[in-house]
Amino acid sequence: MHVVVVESPAKAKTINKYLGPNYKVLASYGHIRDLPSKDGSVRPDEDFAMDWEIDARSAKQVKEIADAMKGADGLYLATDPDREGEAIAWHVREVLEKKKLLKGKEVKRVVFNEITKSAIVEAFNQPRELDNELVDAYMARRALDYLVGFNLSPVLWRKLPGSRSAGRVQSVALRLLCERETDIEAFKPQEYWSVHGTFDTGSGIMVDTNLTFLDSEKLGKMSLTCEADALRAQKAIESGPFSVAKIEKKKTRRNPSPPFTTSTLQQDASRKLHFSAKKTMQVAQRLYEGVNIGGETVGLITYMRTDGVTMAGEAVSACRSLIGKNYGEAYLPATPRVYKTKAKNAQEAHEAIRPTDVFRKPKDMTGHLDADQMKLYDLIWKRTISCQMEPMVLDQVAVDVAQAERTVVMRATGSIIAFDGFYRVYHESREEGAAKDDDQRILPDMTQGQAMALSKVSPEQHFTQPPPRFSEASLVKRLEELGIGRPSTYASIISVCKTAIM
């Protein structure tokens, strides 16, 4: 009999079914040890020696694991495939060694990116040793957390009673929020004007335009700074006849986004589903650990704490097969799409977040998932399939309606989707403050030199806006751009910042 240690009881139950009666799978319920919150737990002068203690919450789990090891032949450490998972495995081994329960017994580390029978069996057929470099990275992080937080937190408690703690990552995130608030308070709005014109093509079809040239000079956003400027422009527009001076047509291609990482999943779930980062990770955890389908617990997505954008070869092949069968060869690129991460300090230790089986479509999950699980699974499934599809092709048109000598130019723009490509499956979410697309603004047929009758001129007053406050999505994006935190920490960072602000 072998003992297998995982982190969560839900995962333990699922894996036990796959491994059979010769294995006893137990949960550690996360970390079993931590640094005592007292002075001297980390001693830099002693080569950063560290003291660890088992907290009261974990004592029961440690006893259960220790009792099981007394009659076991070996130990498999099957915690999550990241730095924290490696650290938990190391702590379990260290505790059992101190209890002299590992003498003469084989201790192996197994990792898997998805909780499916094939992935579990393959992982146990290819065990490895503990990765000491990952453990050292964890130790360095905990030492920094302690040395910074232990000295800084008492100051915070004195200044902000009720605050919990300060740390090297959430403190930086809080600074970003405070600096943005300072920028908003210091912002001084500036007035500017735009001028819009509506023209009749001669057949009763109206075309909306924006003023782009005045007195033969190109206008910028802030060129018309007051009402007098706008009225002068209006008068110039009303003074003379217009005709079509220039027609530009071009095709553009819009490529699909890569499959989800932790940060992009949190951003898209925030914008499209209105999930908090914490809720996104909680729902994703349940999809990863598995749901009951036909009497069997099945993991529906791969590991959800990742900064990698690559997918396993068999997953890419499955996507391409599904695209060809369900959408037709026109939607299937000649070769698989390959993605590279743009995030700073990305470790790319794991695959992107994807369904464990793309042929398990969202509609097939009705009755197996609750509403939130269904929404998130649908989002992950669509993003995964779309990332291997052909680009969307747009026919873009720009028409300049001008006076003689182009002293005043009004521009109309529009585009139509010539081929929907990946857009048939997945629509990109728009970032806060981003301009709206003109994908469906269709312009009528016009010819160069065609006379255009001015119907209406509309000056419009605007004021510049301060930078927006961070949403959870935009804060996660900014943290990733700056290389602050890791995929597993974004949700907890935001939760701590919310507590500090409230």
Residues marked active site are found at 303
Token pair for 332: 């299937």
What's the CA gap between 243 and 197, in Å, rounded?
Answer: 13
CB 446 within 8 Å of CB 399: yes
CB contact burial 475-500 (16+ within 10 A = b; e otherwise): bbbebbeeebbbbbbbbbbbebbeeb
Residue 90: partners with Cβ closer than 8 Å, 6 or more residues away: 130, 135, 138
d(CA 272, CA 189) in angstroms, rounded, equals 30
- Give the pair of three-digit tokens for residue 153: 């937190």
Residue 201 sits at the vertex; the CA angle it makes with 196 and 205, to the nearest 5 degrees, is: 85
Chain centroid to Cα 160, Å, comes to 32
How far from 181 is each of 277, 466, 467, CA to CA, in Å? 21, 10, 9
Find the length of the chain.
502
- Between CA 478 and CA 472 the distance in angstroms is 10
Contact 413, 426 (CB under 8 A): no
Q: How far apart are the C-alpha atoms of 261 and 258, rounded to whole Å?
A: 9
Contacts of 372 (CB under 8 A, 6+ apart): 275, 279, 283
- The 10 Å Cβ neighbour count of residue 260 is 26
Q: Which residues contact 227 (CB under 8 A, 6 or more apart)?
A: 193, 459, 461
- Count of C-beta atoms within a 10 Å radius of residue 237: 21
- Of 402, 401, 395, nearest to 441 by C-alpha is 395
Partners of residue 253 on adjacent β-strands: 393
Which residues does 496 contact at the CB level (< 8 Å), separation at least 6?
164, 165, 167, 170
> Would you call 46 exposed, middle or buried from its count of C-beta atoms within 10 A (0-12, 13-18, 19+)?
exposed
Taking a C-beta distance cutoff of 8 angstroms, is the pair 73, 2 a contact? yes
Closest by CA position to 448, among listed 401, 494, 501: 401
Lookup: tokens for 201? 């093509």
